[in-house]
């Protein structure tokens, strides 16, 4: 009697392809200057040095994904930027605490391993790690037929940073009359894509044929690590906030001390064309402010006298500008005026 042979490969999981992908990651992640003390890719765990010169090191950890932005990548068959987004979403949160990112791990779950797609994602992750001066030390790729539909996948990232105890940005450093600065975003970053996709669906827009949306929807999230860490080393920041899901108000209020309010003038916000397009196409200002960064990717709270010093650390496209100040009050955040959407 012939017995049917059951194999992992027949169930939809190909370990040989997964091994080839691991070898690819190991090769591309090791192509950099200097000698690596540890070789982590492909092992069971990752080993990393703690940076020297930190007297009282504290560990800060963050994790995040890129949400349904991956569906835009699938539609446009373009995967070279969402890896940058993945790194950015975690490391931009780390620096809010004053931490220097030192390592990053990724998790990719997919219906079936497609090497071309995954290689493109990984190259983006490696670029994001380079931009944030941290190391891709490992991760996991899970082939999950039956859980994901054909062509579908998800990605998540995990970052660890180190900060000296005396450099941690805590709420009590923020005082009355401190300035609130907006650092421009590169675009949508990685928030609000379920709403964007719903709008596109309702208006029957073919984004493959819309050059403006093709250009805007997959712009990678700006990584603020280099500039912000330099400011922290110079003691030029009292507090900062990464403007992600929840928009300006929800993220700023997380760092405001009791009995103070972030008094923000919306008229001063310099928004971007993609947000003007969304507003024009039927999203209310209230919803825009609640869901998107509206052109403000990151906020700094500083002493007024340090403004000129702070702006010197940023390139032309990301120069911080004043959008408000810290006042006494109990509202945490007060939004005044309206963004100029014209």
- CATH of residue 138: 3.30.1330.10
- Return the pLDDT at 86: 98
Q: Are residues 128 and 19 in the same domain?
A: yes
Helix (H) / strand (E) element for 47: namely: none
- Return the pLDDT at 38: 47
In a domain, 94, yes or no: yes
- Return the pLDDT at 54: 84
Pairing outcome for strands 57-65 and 153-164: antiparallel
Q: Are residues 237 and 260 in the same domain?
A: yes
- CATH of residue 227: 3.90.650.10
Q: What is the chain's alpha carbon radius of gyration, rounded to the nearest angstrom?
A: 22
In a domain, 5, yes or no: no
> Are the CB atoms for 93 and 64 separated by under 8 Å?
yes
- Return the pLDDT at 12: 59
Q: Are residues 322 and 232 in the same domain?
A: yes
- Return the pLDDT at 30: 57
User: What CA–CA distance (Å, rounded) separates 50 from 16?
Assistant: 35
Tell me the per-residue pLDDT of 271-294, one tens digit each, with 9 for 90 and over.
999 999 999 999 999 999 999 999
Q: Are residues 258 and 329 in the same domain?
A: yes
> Are the CB atoms for 155 and 65 separated by under 8 Å?
yes
> Are the CB atoms for 296 and 243 separated by under 8 Å?
yes
| This prediction's pTM | 0.89
Q: Are residues 21 and 130 in the same domain?
A: yes
In a domain, 208, yes or no: no
How far does Cα 272 stand from its chain's mean position? 18
> How many domains, the chain?
2
Q: Are residues 70 and 150 in the same domain?
A: yes
Q: Residue 135 pairs with which residues in a beta bridge?
A: 103
Helix (H) / strand (E) element for 277: namely: helix 273-280
> Are the CB atoms for 228 and 98 separated by under 8 Å?
no
In a domain, 199, yes or no: no
SS3 label, residue 14: coil
Domain end call among 124, 139, 167: 167
> Are the CB atoms for 154 and 86 separated by under 8 Å?
no
Sequence-distant (6+) residues with CB within 8 A of 322 are 179, 180, 181, 182, 268, 307
Sequence-distant (6+) residues with CB within 8 A of 67 are 190, 191, 193, 194
Sequence-distant (6+) residues with CB within 8 A of 137 are 40, 41, 46, 47, 48, 103, 104, 105
In a domain, 50, yes or no: no
Q: Are residues 137 and 182 in the same domain?
A: no
In a domain, 213, yes or no: no
Q: Are residues 154 and 183 in the same domain?
A: no
Q: Are residues 282 and 145 in the same domain?
A: no
In a domain, 195, yes or no: no
Tell me the per-residue pLDDT of 226-254, one tens digit each, with 9 for 90 and over.
999 999 999 999 999 999 988 999 999 99
Instruction: Provide φ and ψ at 4, rounded to 5°.
Output: -65, 130
User: What CA–CA distance (Å, rounded) separates 23 from 63?
Assistant: 25
Angle separating helix axes 15-29 and 115-131, nearest 10 degrees: 30
> Are the CB atoms for 255 and 300 separated by under 8 Å?
no
In a domain, 217, yes or no: no
Domain carrying residue 316: 171-187+222-336
Q: Are residues 16 and 150 in the same domain?
A: yes
Domain end call among 133, 167, 201: 167
Q: Are residues 241 and 316 in the same domain?
A: yes
- Return the pLDDT at 34: 43
- Return the pLDDT at 15: 57
Instruction: Provide φ and ψ at 337, rounded to 5°.
Output: 75, -155
Q: Are residues 151 and 183 in the same domain?
A: no
- Return the pLDDT at 42: 59
Regions of the chain short of the pLDDT cut 70: 1-44
């Amino acid at each position: 009697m012939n017995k049917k042979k059951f194999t992992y490969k027949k169930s939809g999981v190909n370990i040989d392809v997964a091994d080839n992908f691991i070898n690819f990651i190991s090769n591309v992640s090791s192509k950099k200057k200097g000698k690596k003390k540890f070789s982590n890719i492909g092992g069971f765990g990752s080993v990393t040095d703690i940076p020297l010169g930190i007297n009282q090191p504290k560990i800060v950890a963050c994790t995040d994904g890129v949400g349904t932005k991956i569906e835009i990548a699938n539609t446009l068959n373009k995967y070279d930027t969402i890896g940058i987004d993945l790194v950015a979403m975690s490391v931009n949160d780390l620096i809010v605490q004053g931490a220097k990112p030192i390592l990053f791990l990724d998790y990719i779950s997919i219906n079936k391993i497609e090497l071309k797609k995954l290689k493109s994602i990984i190259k983006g992750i490696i670029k994001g790690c380079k931009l944030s001066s941290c190391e891709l030390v490992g991760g996991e790729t899970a082939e999950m037929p039956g859980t994901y539909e054909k062509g579908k996948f998800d990605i998540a990232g995990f970052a660890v940073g180190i900060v000296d105890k005396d450099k941690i940005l805590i709420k009590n450093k923020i005082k009355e009359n401190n300035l609130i600065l907006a650092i421009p975003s590169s675009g949508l970053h990685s928030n609000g894509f379920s709403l964007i996709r719903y709008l596109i669906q309702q208006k029957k827009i073919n984004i493959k044929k819309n050059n403006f949306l093709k250009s805007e929807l997959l712009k990678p999230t700006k990584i603020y690590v280099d500039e912000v860490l330099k400011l922290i080393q110079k003691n030029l920041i009292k507090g900062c906030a990464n403007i992600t899901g929840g928009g300006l108000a929800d993220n700023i209020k997380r760092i405001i001390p009791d009995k103070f309010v972030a008094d923000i003038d919306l008229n001063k916000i310099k928004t971007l064309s993609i947000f003007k397009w969304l507003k024009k196409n039927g999203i209310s200002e209230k919803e825009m402010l609640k869901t998107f960064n509206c052109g403000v990717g990151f906020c700094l709270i500083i002493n007024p006298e340090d403004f000129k010093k702070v702006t010197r650390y940023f390139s032309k496209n990301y120069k911080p500008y004043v959008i408000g100040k810290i006042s006494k009050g109990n509202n945490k955040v007060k939004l005044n005026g309206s963004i100029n959407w014209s």
